[in-house]
């Protein structure tokens, strides 16, 4: 990115070696990628936790509506199974909430914090870039003067330019060095940073699904006799539907 304007100016003379530039680029790119990933993941995780919550709330609504239906009064078996269903759904909701909280704490917030470092990084890179531009500008000025014939005023100007150049160059060198040192550190830190998050995420999910597995394990028996397979049940449904259709009070001619 910084080569291109440079190429226009003076492709032959290079202020910073290509390797240095390349290293810098590479590190910066890696960090940019991490930045994007962090942002995206943060957004996605938020969405997914919201979706989880929505789903378990919908499930609870199903069961509580059914439980509150007067059918339960007339039929004690129905009441029993609906109560079981409702209990299960509520437990699912509770566990889900816990899971969401856990994920919130161990994954979503750290993601946010991590991405808060990036603005500073970008700012620093920008500043380095500015310094580089200044550096190049002054450098070319110096070279221009150097190429001129060595008259008095030129010499003075040359000297002046050199004086100007020096602090800028030093500034640039400093910035460059700093960034080159610190970017890999930053990059590397993500592992230690996110490893626990990752583990926590997996752990939360495993815990949740283990619980769910237990909760739903016995539930089917309580709802209805499990004698029929799914297909049989499906066919049963169809049969009854057509039975209903045949009723005169229902049928359309």
Partner 1 sequence: MENKMKQIFRPKMYIGEGRRSTDTVVAENVTDTSGTIRRSQSDRTEYGKKLKDKMASQDTPTSSCSALDPQEIRSKMMAKRLKVIQELLQTEKDYLTDLELCIKEVVEPLKDIQAVEVDRLFINIESIKQVSASLLANLEEATAGVDPEIQIIGKTFSHVKAEMEEAYKIYCYHQDDANSLLSTYEKDEEVNQQFINCIMTLKTIYDREGKSNLLNMRSFMIKPVQRVMKYPLLLRELWNCTPDSHPDIRPLEEALNSVNIINSNINEFKRGKDLVMKYKKNEEEGRLRNKINKFSFHSLRKKSDRVTGHIKRITGKEPRIKDEKFDKEEKMFKNIEKAVRQLTKNVSDLLQALEGISTAAQNDQQLQSMLLDPDKCESECPLDTKNGSNPYLHFKNKLEHLVLKPLSTLQSMFVAPQKLIQKRYDKLLDYDSSRERSSDELELARRDYEALNAQLVEGLQVFNPASKKILTNCIYFIVALFQDLMNSTHRKFPSIQHLSAPLSNISEVQNSIMEELNNLLFVKENAPKLIERKLSFDKPKRPAPESPRQSEAQRVKVLSTYPLDKVHQLKRNCNATQERDLSLFEGELVAVIEQQDPLGSTSRWLVDTGSEKGYVYSSFLKPYNPIKEQNGNPQDREVDFDDVSIFVNGSKRNSMKSLNSFSSINDIQDWTETDDNDSSGNTDDQQIFYAVYPFQARCEQELSLLEYQRVRILKFCDASGNREWWLAEANEQKGYVPANYLGKMSYA
Give the separation between CA 243 and CA 48, rounded to whole angstroms: 43
* Total count of residues recorded for the chain: 253
| Residue 15 Cβ vs partner 1, minimum distance, rounded to whole Å | 21
Give the separation between CA 212 and CA 243, rounded to whole angstroms: 37
Contacts (Cβ under 8 Å, ≥6 apart) of 73: 79
Give the separation between CA 246 and CA 249, rounded to whole angstroms: 9
Report if residue 25 touches partner 1, rule: CB under 8 A: no
Report if residue 17 touches partner 1, rule: CB under 8 A: no
Report if residue 219 touches partner 1, rule: CB under 8 A: yes
Give the separation between CA 236 and CA 174, rounded to whole angstroms: 79
Q: Which of the residues 72 through 101 are near partner 1 (CB under 8 A)?
A: 74, 78, 81, 85, 88
Report if residue 127 touches partner 1, rule: CB under 8 A: yes
Report if residue 213 touches partner 1, rule: CB under 8 A: yes
Report if residue 15 touches partner 1, rule: CB under 8 A: no
Among 110, 133, 137, 143, binds partner 1 (CB under 8 A): 110
Report if residue 241 touches partner 1, rule: CB under 8 A: yes
Among 13, 22, 58, 160, binds partner 1 (CB under 8 A): 58
Report if residue 249 touches partner 1, rule: CB under 8 A: yes
Q: What is the 3-state secondary structure (H, E, C) of 21-47?
A: HHHHHHHHHHHHHHHHHHHHHHHHHHH
* Total of residues contacting partner 1 (CB under 8 A): 95
């Amino acid at each position: 990115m910084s080569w291109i304007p440079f190429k226009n100016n003076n492709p032959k003379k290079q202020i910073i070696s290509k390797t240095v530039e390349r290293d810098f680029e590479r590190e910066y790119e890696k960090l940019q990628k991490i930045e994007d990933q962090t942002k995206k993941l943060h957004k996605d995780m938020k969405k997914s936790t919201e979706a989880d919550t929505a789903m378990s709330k919908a499930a609870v609504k199903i069961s509580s509506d059914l439980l509150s239906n007067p059918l339960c009064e007339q039929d004690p078996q129905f009441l029993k199974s609906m109560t079981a269903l409702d209990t299960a759904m509520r437990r699912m909701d509770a566990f889900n909430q816990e899971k969401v909280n856990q994920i919130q704490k161990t994954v979503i917030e750290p993601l946010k914090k991590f991405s808060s470092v990036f603005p500073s990084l970008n700012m620093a890179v920008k500043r380095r870039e500015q310094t580089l531009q200044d550096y190049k500008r002054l450098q070319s000025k110096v070279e221009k003067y150097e190429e001129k014939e060595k008259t008095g005023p030129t010499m003075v100007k040359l000297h002046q330019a050199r004086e100007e150049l020096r602090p800028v160059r030093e500034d640039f060198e400093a910035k460059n060095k700093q960034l080159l040192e610190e970017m890999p550190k930053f990059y590397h830190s993500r592992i230690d940073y996110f490893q626990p998050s990752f583990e926590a995420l997996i752990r939360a999910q495993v815990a949740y699904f283990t619980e769910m597995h237990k909760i739903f394990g016995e539930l089917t028996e309580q709802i209805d006799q499990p004698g029929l397979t799914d297909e049989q049940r499906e066919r049963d449904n169809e049969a009854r539907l057509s039975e209903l259709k045949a009723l005169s009070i229902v049928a359309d001619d």
